[in-house]
Structure 1
């Protein structure tokens, strides 16, 4: 019984609990000699997928081989033990100048990348390592372990297969965990949490079309705490699911209040953790939140992170597919800084792609940043997604992103997150920074040609909301005159007009103004004429009446994007 309590039966390694006395003695000796003790917290990346796909027998064999590999690397340096699951601890006592903890951790990490032969498989693993040192970071074995675990967790968040050394920033995180951890559960139950909202605005005119819900903790003694102070604490204590459920319910209740105030064309986006989204009850929780509040599903948007797509892909795909079936909108947050593949991105029914703020900082000053932002915008549009730029803070960024057809903006240029009362005031005014949008208006001129005045008026109303400079002509002669006096990028023409057909008119326009993008909108379809016009390059696209407003607006947006791409200067 004593042996079973102190030794791990799978790997044959000592359990860490049985090594704490050794660690305590090493720390005491180091204090007397002026030496140091380094603790390495090693976690095997995504080991759970082996147990899930190949079975626990293969997983146990892999753990034994990993333990042997680590034992050979640690021999002569320190003590190796198994903490739990796929987590191992290495303790090394050393004199300054005789041992480099960071170099040793990198050696362990690189050694872990070599394949493991677990017949009939060849398995490939990586590991993430956190390092903490006595006496710099902690004075007790438990605190030293906590410090190394926090460093490891931060390394995981940076992308895995890396090494992180505990530092002062981590120390603040540890203090928060100790100070706030015991209070957070009561705060959720005791209604100390509040939602703040940051607007998302339409790129054409600055109209608020959505708000992102961001949780804050109103503490009685520390004031209003941002999520960076307590989200990690919630994750470590297993409270993130409970916290996420509160945010979801509170967001739906606030949506109900705004809906009652007449704001039926705005949505609220909510960040959902992977732990919550992969729960078997999550879909029912969303359905119940919508039912209890009476909010249409189209007004709720759920955000998942790019890294989430790379994990538990099958289960996550099932979940988001069910969410789409409910009518909920889906957004992929912080795109560009994670490790999801494009094949993953293609499979998921995402409505919005949110560009990470790190891509936005230098778009107006650095060619590399500009190229990356343009590439992400083009990728999103090719996949049928709206693109949101996060972290927009200057009018220069706004102007660049508008010229490159980004769809939505979010950032401090339009305001910091505000409480529900101030968010309601923003919704009543609805338009933000009209001066900035006027000064950064891109040169987008649309010419509408139709001999029916009622059609022209309907199209004019439709396209003015998108911020274009719209010209109208009821005859081809009038259209030629407008083209001569204005720089027109896109033309939308009726097919049947008294003087000449739309395809003939646009064929002549191609000769006069070859850089225009030309579309026909008609209630009559002569397939041979249309085919010939397209083959000759006279028209870019043939659209039919009656039209769907949203689809027609998207066709025109795509036409302007096509024009911009064809005339973009080389960088």
Structure 2
């Protein structure tokens, strides 16, 4: 029962004392309540400030198990339970479980219910409010959420207590708001601990967690001061709230330090974990007593030599049944429970004992380090302990080192400073372990006088992942440590590449599996006994100061010129999409390539390509290798034509720097190796000549097998092409090997004839480059016969895979076995071919330069010029196109304008041009080019100027292109005048997404008279113009977009909603402009037709009035035609007269069909008539004709159609139209149009249902006028 309370109620203040009343253990709540409490203190002094045992302690009251006392230090009443316990490492002890309670009748004043900073309930008030809430609402499902800000003490140290208070206040505000929203209860319990009662709603919990986490990220600036959450679901409401909170804290404690998981629900397994920990504690105690726990040692090595400079003692548990138990399975548990101290004391003793044994055995001891945990610093007199061990075993302190983890320095820097100085007083070296694993600060190094930094292996892992940032951080740490004279040991070195990189960065020592794994005594003692493997000077031996270029640069001792001389030619390359561009280069690079900075700037995108074409594949491969081999880079030799026509061989060392959006940045360091290459070739040529002279004799053993005649032939050919070698192949496919002399064996890089034969698979054809086989076959000819001679050139393969050019002179002979064979002499002509290639490259360069000059003078769309950056801008160069554009010669410009660019500029424009030059010089020029006037022979011309500013050799230049835009400016001015005086509105719509249509009002001829600004008008067009309801009522802008996207145009009359204007009518016409596929544009012409509409309305009203008069007079057969402003025959009367005329033309000769009461007649080849009859009475008609379009297609026009009123609903109209539609297709017409007036809506409706177009229904196309006799 007591054990369950002990490990289940984390809210309980728990501590353990031994028989002398010294504290041997206390939990986190005790640490919060008594910040100065440390193990080893007397409980009555540390907790009550009493000089002797407390008289009201339960132990003093006949070993009572419970008691209530008032603790003045925390100003609270405490209820305490005490019990006996066998504590590991301390024997029989007493465990105290205490809880803050409400005061009894006599005691301290009531605590305040609300915290002044956060505004939340204080601890006891919160517990009381939670208890009330869960009892008042038994139907609700509640949970308790504990919140803790990780590393909040460190946050206060970094940002100050004021910032910490603001942080806490913000968390309190979020919890308070959540409590109001959810009907929960929020509390601030102390320090950085919060708690909240809230409904068990996953969504609500997640939202609150996200808000608090976001606030933490904001206040902590992303540095890792994140909240942890523990949740307890309240199923048993009879539990005290304190126990509920304890269990939420248990869940919270399980995720602290785990940045992948920041919250967890409580489960019963957590209690089991605590019980398992207790069982493991007892096992560890027994293992210590039985000697099962000992230490392994891992050597620390010199990264250059690999020799051992020290050891690190690492704890290992050799279990008799389970074997070797990894430290990760028991060390964290010992640290949580405060028993790591007993383990550390045991290991220290073991290490001192081992040192003493080595010394007694006469063996030279190796320095060894031991780990000191953070708990040791508080629970032990560490300095006194080590001093006692040194005296006990008589160990020289120089053989010892202590390793203290980085986290200990962060959490209590002041204490660590004192401890480190104490170790130094004892003569013991101090290492900071795991540097870089947590909150490392280079600034910390100046405050803590450590001797060695041990870099955490995570930094090396990042380097293996090719992280440039991690590499920079690591280099900065090593550099700072070297500056502070602190040695550096890299942990976790596992590869050769890691070792090399660390050495380059200035790290001298390392530890890891690349050298040795941790070993038991039986393995490491013989190792360190071998003096050849140990550097007994250790890691503190003085070494010459490391020279670093960066220090030399930052010291400003060297001038730029001196640095240029030291570093040599340097260039920055940008590799993007397979093309290489020069970004910048130093003066030595320009000198090496024989080019000035101004010309190099103009050629920056093509200059790298001026290497020999045959070298370019190797160059691109080197760029790829440099990117893969960071930081060593890659090396390639490039040939380039010099201005004097000679070939330069340049050794380029490429280093990859970084990548951004597909652009790869490289640093190139160059060196001229031309002379070295020439000397090497000359030496090789002399060596071959000597070899050929000595080998070309009948005594060559490889020639002995040839017949006498063939041997003489071979020697004769060899004499012609000395130096070189001889080889022969049978005149058969792939030229099977006939022979080769010693000179040829050597020329191809082999040691013996047999090796050569095997290397080429006994086929001479395998020595010829595959791309040259066709030309060799062509040179030899299609047929072989004895005496055939030939000469050819091709590339020949060496053993190492390289190729060289050879001149091959051969003759066909009859071999000893009767087969035809070729005897050939070969000599290396690589140098000759290189000269030919130089000539080709030179010719290519000249062609390129000529093309560039031709482009500047002829093809560039404007006049190129270069001027001196001086008053007046003196001309340095003018292209022919520049002169042609203005109509002057160079001499005339010099005579008329004193060779000064600015004097050609219009006087009124010179100030703006001067300001533009200043902007170019200062780098503040915008992207828009300058526009101004310049003097030409035929008057002033408008130009746009695209210039840039350059500096070279302390001289400034302006260079660029001017383009004649006079016609464009005049057209623009004319358009501006037209737009200003137009009576219509011109609107440009543009869109790539129909949801985002941009409106640009170009002219406001119509809308401005209604007092609208362009901005107001744009808003009306974008949101307030709608189609008439008969057309769907949608936005006009949407209709325009849809029409344009379908390839159509639009014309419509609409009434816009102008402020304060009701009767405004606009005719809007829209059609597509522009050809860009990624964005559509429509040009809209908007014309005010309000007066026309008003006139039509007045005429309509007049017509209605006249119709009323006629009705009263009994006149029903006449209508008022508003178009001709006169009376016309009514439609019914018109139909009767038309039908009467139809009877006259229906004769057999022109009848074309008679189907189902539908009869058709043909007047001529292009016009048709159709009638419908019922009971031999004409009840409907249609008149049609065809037209031939310019494109050859036939158009079928339904000109007019009619049906007697009494027959309109019997379907004859639809039947008639369907027949006409099918007939038009049969005679080959491509389209059919209905032309009628608005007075016949039924015909229009029927026609539309048949799929016809309704584009003409607003126009009266056909009018039957009896007075004129039109039919």
Interval of TM-score (by shorter of Structure 1 and Structure 2): 0.5 to 0.7
Equivalent residue number for residue 416 of structure 1: 517
Q: Which moved more, 1:140-149 or 1:302-311?
A: 140-149
Q: Say yes or no: does 1:270 pair with 2:370.
A: yes
- State the alpha-carbon separation in 1 of the partners of residues 295 and 168 from structure 2: 48
> For 1:99, what is the secondary structure of its paired residue?
helix
Equivalent residue number for residue 705 of structure 2: none
Aligned match of 1:374 in 456, 475, 478?
475
How has the CA–CA distance of structure 1 residues 287 and 106 changed in structure 2, closer, same or farther, with 3 Å as cutoff?
farther
Q: Residues 170-569 of structure 1: matches in 2 within 5 Å?
A: 177-184=274-281, 187-188=284-285, 189-190=288-289, 191-219=291-319, 222-278=322-378, 281-363=381-463, 366=466, 368=468, 369-429=470-530
How far the C-alpha of 1:329 sits from its partner, in A, is: 0.8
> For 1:196, what is the secondary structure of its paired residue?
strand
Does the 8 A contact of 2:147 with 2:252 survive in 1?
yes
How far the C-alpha of 1:292 sits from its partner, in A, is: 1.9
Does the 8 A contact of 1:40 with 1:131 survive in 2?
yes
- State the alpha-carbon separation in 1 of the partners of residues 450 and 416 from structure 2: 12
Aligned match of 2:199 in 79, 85, 93?
93
1:266-288 superposed Cα distances (whole Å, 9 cap, x missing partner): 22222212232245722111211
> For 2:506, what is the secondary structure of its paired residue?
coil
How has the CA–CA distance of structure 1 residues 286 and 355 changed in structure 2, closer, same or farther, with 3 Å as cutoff?
same
Equivalent residue number for residue 147 of structure 1: 251
How has the CA–CA distance of structure 1 residues 394 and 65 changed in structure 2, closer, same or farther, with 3 Å as cutoff?
closer
**What value does the CA root-mean-square deviation take over the aligned residues?**
4.9
- State the alpha-carbon separation in 2 of the partners of residues 295 and 23 from structure 1: 66
How far the C-alpha of 1:388 sits from its partner, in A, is: 0.9
How has the CA–CA distance of structure 1 residues 365 and 13 changed in structure 2, closer, same or farther, with 3 Å as cutoff?
closer
How far the C-alpha of 1:185 sits from its partner, in A, is: 5.2
Q: Say yes or no: does 1:108 pair with 2:108.
A: no
Equivalent residue number for residue 131 of structure 1: 230
Which structure 1 segments of 5+ residues have no match? 116-124, 434-461, 469-488, 491-509, 516-566
How has the CA–CA distance of structure 1 residues 23 and 131 changed in structure 2, closer, same or farther, with 3 Å as cutoff?
farther
Does the 8 A contact of 1:271 with 1:304 survive in 2?
yes
More strand by percentage: 2
- State the alpha-carbon separation in 1 of the partners of residues 304 and 214 from structure 2: 50
- State the alpha-carbon separation in 2 of the partners of residues 245 and 8 from structure 1: 46
1:433-467 superposed Cα distances (whole Å, 9 cap, x missing partner): 9xxxxxxxxxxxxxxxxxxxxxxxxxxxx9xxx9x
How far the C-alpha of 1:321 sits from its partner, in A, is: 0.8
Question: TM-score under structure 2 normalisation?
Answer: 0.29
How has the CA–CA distance of structure 1 residues 226 and 178 changed in structure 2, closer, same or farther, with 3 Å as cutoff?
farther
Structure with greater contact order relative to length (CA < 8 Å, sep ≥ 6):
1
How has the CA–CA distance of structure 1 residues 165 and 570 changed in structure 2, closer, same or farther, with 3 Å as cutoff?
same
How far the C-alpha of 1:327 sits from its partner, in A, is: 0.9
- State the alpha-carbon separation in 2 of the partners of residues 262 and 404 from structure 1: 38
Does the 8 A contact of 2:355 with 2:365 survive in 1?
no
Aligned match of 1:164 in 244, 257, 262?
262
How has the CA–CA distance of structure 1 residues 7 and 352 changed in structure 2, closer, same or farther, with 3 Å as cutoff?
same
Does the 8 A contact of 2:251 with 2:270 survive in 1?
no
How far the C-alpha of 1:108 sits from its partner, in A, is: 2.8
> For 1:361, what is the secondary structure of its paired residue?
helix
How far the C-alpha of 1:381 sits from its partner, in A, is: 1.3
- State the alpha-carbon separation in 2 of the partners of residues 171 and 432 from structure 1: 54
How has the CA–CA distance of structure 1 residues 70 and 299 changed in structure 2, closer, same or farther, with 3 Å as cutoff?
farther
How has the CA–CA distance of structure 1 residues 291 and 72 changed in structure 2, closer, same or farther, with 3 Å as cutoff?
same
How far the C-alpha of 1:568 sits from its partner, in A, is: 11
Equivalent residue number for residue 874 of structure 2: none
How has the CA–CA distance of structure 1 residues 324 and 180 changed in structure 2, closer, same or farther, with 3 Å as cutoff?
same
How has the CA–CA distance of structure 1 residues 41 and 514 changed in structure 2, closer, same or farther, with 3 Å as cutoff?
closer
How has the CA–CA distance of structure 1 residues 284 and 23 changed in structure 2, closer, same or farther, with 3 Å as cutoff?
farther
- State the alpha-carbon separation in 2 of the partners of residues 375 and 68 from structure 1: 40
How has the CA–CA distance of structure 1 residues 285 and 294 changed in structure 2, closer, same or farther, with 3 Å as cutoff?
same
Q: Say yes or no: does 1:13 pair with 2:122.
A: yes
How has the CA–CA distance of structure 1 residues 363 and 13 changed in structure 2, closer, same or farther, with 3 Å as cutoff?
closer
- State the alpha-carbon separation in 2 of the partners of residues 347 and 330 from structure 1: 14
1:217-263 superposed Cα distances (whole Å, 9 cap, x missing partner): 34455443222222221222122333333332222222223333444
How has the CA–CA distance of structure 1 residues 100 and 243 changed in structure 2, closer, same or farther, with 3 Å as cutoff?
same
How far the C-alpha of 1:390 sits from its partner, in A, is: 0.9
1:141-189 superposed Cα distances (whole Å, 9 cap, x missing partner): 565532221212x25xx6xxx9723499x99998654313343256245
> For 1:418, what is the secondary structure of its paired residue?
coil
- State the alpha-carbon separation in 2 of the partners of residues 227 and 151 from structure 1: 21
> For 1:393, what is the secondary structure of its paired residue?
coil
Q: Which moved more, 1:421-430 or 1:328-337?
A: 421-430
How far the C-alpha of 1:328 sits from its partner, in A, is: 0.7
Does the 8 A contact of 1:278 with 1:315 survive in 2?
no
Question: TM-score under structure 1 normalisation?
Answer: 0.60
Q: Say yes or no: does 1:72 pair with 2:72.
A: no
How far the C-alpha of 1:43 sits from its partner, in A, is: 4.6
How has the CA–CA distance of structure 1 residues 165 and 380 changed in structure 2, closer, same or farther, with 3 Å as cutoff?
same
Which structure 2 segments of 5+ residues have no match? 1-76, 78-100, 105-109, 116-120, 548-561, 568-652, 658-1271
Does the 8 A contact of 2:250 with 2:270 survive in 1?
no
1:369-406 superposed Cα distances (whole Å, 9 cap, x missing partner): 43333332222211111211111112222232234332
Does the 8 A contact of 2:144 with 2:232 survive in 1?
yes
- State the alpha-carbon separation in 2 of the partners of residues 273 and 421 from structure 1: 27
Aligned residues: 418
How far the C-alpha of 1:92 sits from its partner, in A, is: 3.4
How far the C-alpha of 1:3 sits from its partner, in A, is: 3.7
How far the C-alpha of 1:95 sits from its partner, in A, is: 3.1
1:282-306 superposed Cα distances (whole Å, 9 cap, x missing partner): 2111211222222211111111222
- State the alpha-carbon separation in 2 of the partners of residues 113 and 241 from structure 1: 36
Does the 8 A contact of 1:252 with 1:289 survive in 2?
yes
Q: Residues 41-80 of structure 1: matches in 2 within 5 Å?
A: 41-43=147-149, 45-47=151-153, 69=173, 72-75=176-179, 76-77=181-182, 78-80=184-186
Equivalent residue number for residue 822 of structure 2: none
- State the alpha-carbon separation in 1 of the partners of residues 383 and 187 from structure 2: 40
How has the CA–CA distance of structure 1 residues 95 and 298 changed in structure 2, closer, same or farther, with 3 Å as cutoff?
same
How has the CA–CA distance of structure 1 residues 73 and 393 changed in structure 2, closer, same or farther, with 3 Å as cutoff?
farther
